[in-house]
Structure 1
């Protein structure tokens, strides 16, 4: 593509659809490390390298997705896919974003059920997880450098990080407070936002595609009703089908309704709902044995895609052990696919339903300043995700310190993992010093994990 700003093609695509599909597939193979790593990959690919979307437009979409229940990174993929190629682009981007993870976790779940924990998977994870830390660190630096363009916005980001990491405040409350602060700053200190007028202030080079060339289907009541009805039907039709075929008390009906409900309360990402899912899966339904949720989480973290994908592991194992009249393997596959379906369909529904209205409000000053406050808080949110991931990757155990309003999780220094720490340092050197791509760095670190594990076994 030339360096001139693109204009829409006749069919509404600003990027050839096949070209976009190849890029989304490449992104999907790199989405390790939870939402922080996934946002980092999209930031690097779409904003920095391809320059298909400007930084402000990227953050505007991310702000909306942060307000939604469900995996914000996958929803961001749907939103940007919609901007580039319309509804089919959003559907394709969101599907490709999760497809490699669905397939990989399905295979690992089958290996787990058949053979127990896999040493090869453990070795690969030993190399991949530390590498992801370097990717996340890069995301915090890049997004922070471009979004925190005023010292007051830096204060908002730090306050959001402290609120989440130190005081354990609810994610929706932190985001709501950031929006109010942004709105107030817009009224009381408009100079905070004066230098944000152009994309080229926030990026090293302007995007190749002008904002007004991006697909922006105007909102309409007819379109909203059509998407709402279609989305709700697709969301619940499989649950109604399994309830009719297998009965309302079957494990498939129970899993479908349970995970459909969980999909709309996952504000703040997967970590916010995992404790609830684990408690119900183990103590109420008996799908997993105690401790198996942690193993499923490790498998989900070692595969690309949203971490909430762990629910697929839960459903697979639970249905395999309680198959009813079905063959256990058939039951496991049905439970896994049903759970994945009801978990991710709402993501498409929320984004495709709301995106045209959010785009229409891009020029609203009050909304823009409120979303700028959320943008600053997002930097703190990503940093908090990075801290959580680092603690669980670099240390065997952590302790929760509670003192008044303080709820701070600290590592036990004696439990540090030297292998993971060493690979983290190597990955950071490859990304920040050698400027390696994310995929190349992940591959090298996975090989290191396998090599170190093989040496340890000798």
Structure 2
């Protein structure tokens, strides 16, 4: 079994980028289905090893995972292509919706479709949670770690990096309890194309490392260059470049981990947008493909719009994307070669496997957070205001569950049919 041609991989990465709705949980599940289960390009354990590393990095883990896997299969060009194709579809959709929002103050044509999409996304996240749990929770201690991670995040509001660090330290101390598996077995225990390539070419990782190091340093230089040029110049674009560069190194755990801080600074300190506009941007990001961190593009867009109109908005959105995602390429290209060389390290493997167990709790926390805000109009604290249950959202979520789990229609048809059902409810006057 051989690695796919680069052109074939491009088509698959583009497909993943266009279908990557639902935040990191659903995106990682989609990627797993495409490259592990259906095509057997990557083995199960190597996929999880890469995912564990990406969970330890700042930035969107699903985008970084695509970059990592693309690099493993086709070197730097594969990593760049996989990462860019994961970002671009959502960025273009977000740009179009941002223009509509800024020009009209709302997106009325999309509102009903968005309700159906949100409900379908909720079910996709639940499916992703089940998938990751089945792979990661082998034995009693991983279950305990997953439950503790969920409680720490949902009940105690412990910062995400501390949850990951605690799990990693436990796995390092007790590697045997997490029993990470070998690299073989994408589906049915059969060898993956990447495993076969690495077995046939033991020096492959070392051969890829030099170019990856140069690419990582180039990404760092490209990231910091415009920030340095704008420093001291004043104006909105300089503030956007510096602020979101800072966010790029502290966004552990994805967008939700930093949204409160971003909203506080963007609304209260800089005045780039209002609190309702921030929530609208999050709603747009949740229902477009690509990483949820694209909500930052919406913030940068409105910041530029208010200072320089359409051209200022394009500059603000472009600068936000530049300083948000270039560091992600740097982290992967600089770190992945070293992580790949440590596959045989028992304590590191135990630490990363423990992180995977904690990720189950993280995804469960995100799934519950998302479910409460989709199904209820008011969530004043940990629990919702039960009388604000949205029966239309509940009905659409049940429909999405039947389509995905019962009829097994797949991601695209489930999203499309549930969105159309939301539109139908709106036309009948059952949805706002």
Equivalent in 303, 319, 322 of residue 338 of structure 1: 319
SS in 1 for 2:380: strand
1:282-431 correspondence to structure 2 within 5 Å: 282-323=267-308, 328-400=309-381, 409-431=382-404
Using a 3 Å threshold, how does the CA distance of structure 1 residues 335 and 147 change in structure 2: closer, same or farther?
same
Paired with 1:330 and 1:444, the residues of 2 have a C-alpha distance of: 37
Equivalent in 151, 169, 172 of residue 162 of structure 1: 151
Contact 1:70–1:264 under 8 Å retained in 2: yes
Using a 3 Å threshold, how does the CA distance of structure 1 residues 101 and 220 change in structure 2: closer, same or farther?
closer
> Is the counterpart of residue 193 in structure 1 residue 179 in structure 2?
yes
Alignment correspondent of 2:85: 96
Contact 2:178–2:350 under 8 Å retained in 1: no
Q: Could you tell me how far 1:223 is from its partner in structure 2?
A: 4.8
Contact 2:46–2:183 under 8 Å retained in 1: no
Q: Could you tell me how far 1:115 is from its partner in structure 2?
A: 0.9
Using a 3 Å threshold, how does the CA distance of structure 1 residues 220 and 141 change in structure 2: closer, same or farther?
closer
Q: Could you tell me how far 1:16 is from its partner in structure 2?
A: 0.7
Contact 2:216–2:333 under 8 Å retained in 1: no
Q: Deviations over 1:358-378 (max 9, x none)?
A: 000011111111111111111
Equivalent in 219, 223, 247 of residue 231 of structure 1: 219
SS in 2 for 1:218: helix
Alignment correspondent of 2:413: 440
Question: How large is the RMSD of aligned CA atoms in angstroms?
Answer: 2.1
Paired with 2:272 and 2:178, the residues of 1 have a C-alpha distance of: 52
Contact 1:120–1:450 under 8 Å retained in 2: no
Alignment correspondent of 2:426: 453
Alignment correspondent of 1:10: none
SS in 2 for 1:410: coil
Q: Could you tell me how far 1:185 is from its partner in structure 2?
A: 2.2
Alignment correspondent of 1:406: none
Q: Deviations over 1:209-241 (max 9, x none)?
A: 152515953289965762343112210223345
Equivalent in 188, 191, 209 of residue 193 of structure 2: 209
Alignment correspondent of 1:403: none
Q: Could you tell me how far 1:399 is from its partner in structure 2?
A: 2.2
Using a 3 Å threshold, how does the CA distance of structure 1 residues 456 and 276 change in structure 2: closer, same or farther?
same
Using a 3 Å threshold, how does the CA distance of structure 1 residues 240 and 386 change in structure 2: closer, same or farther?
same
Structure 1: which 5+ runs fail to align? 7-13, 401-408
Contact 2:184–2:192 under 8 Å retained in 1: no
More helix by share: 2
Contact 1:86–1:217 under 8 Å retained in 2: no
Q: Deviations over 1:389-422 (max 9, x none)?
A: 111111111122xxxxxxxx11111111111111
Paired with 1:225 and 1:57, the residues of 2 have a C-alpha distance of: 21
Paired with 1:113 and 1:197, the residues of 2 have a C-alpha distance of: 51
Paired with 2:241 and 2:388, the residues of 1 have a C-alpha distance of: 39
Paired with 1:191 and 1:307, the residues of 2 have a C-alpha distance of: 33
Using a 3 Å threshold, how does the CA distance of structure 1 residues 210 and 29 change in structure 2: closer, same or farther?
closer
SS in 2 for 1:379: helix
SS in 1 for 2:119: helix
Contact 1:219–1:356 under 8 Å retained in 2: no
SS in 1 for 2:336: helix
1:127-146 correspondence to structure 2 within 5 Å: 127-146=116-135
Equivalent in 251, 257, 271 of residue 236 of structure 2: 251
Paired with 1:207 and 1:35, the residues of 2 have a C-alpha distance of: 26
Contact 2:171–2:178 under 8 Å retained in 1: no
- TM-score, length basis structure 2: 0.94
Paired with 1:346 and 1:297, the residues of 2 have a C-alpha distance of: 22
Q: Deviations over 1:252-278 (max 9, x none)?
A: 111111111111111111111111111
Contact 1:127–1:449 under 8 Å retained in 2: yes
Equivalent in 206, 210, 225 of residue 218 of structure 1: 206
Paired with 1:112 and 1:134, the residues of 2 have a C-alpha distance of: 27
Contact 2:305–2:312 under 8 Å retained in 1: yes
Structure 2: which 5+ runs fail to align? none
Q: Deviations over 1:321-363 (max 9, x none)?
A: 112xxxx111111111111111000111101110000000011
Matched positions, count = 427
1:29-108 correspondence to structure 2 within 5 Å: 29-108=18-97
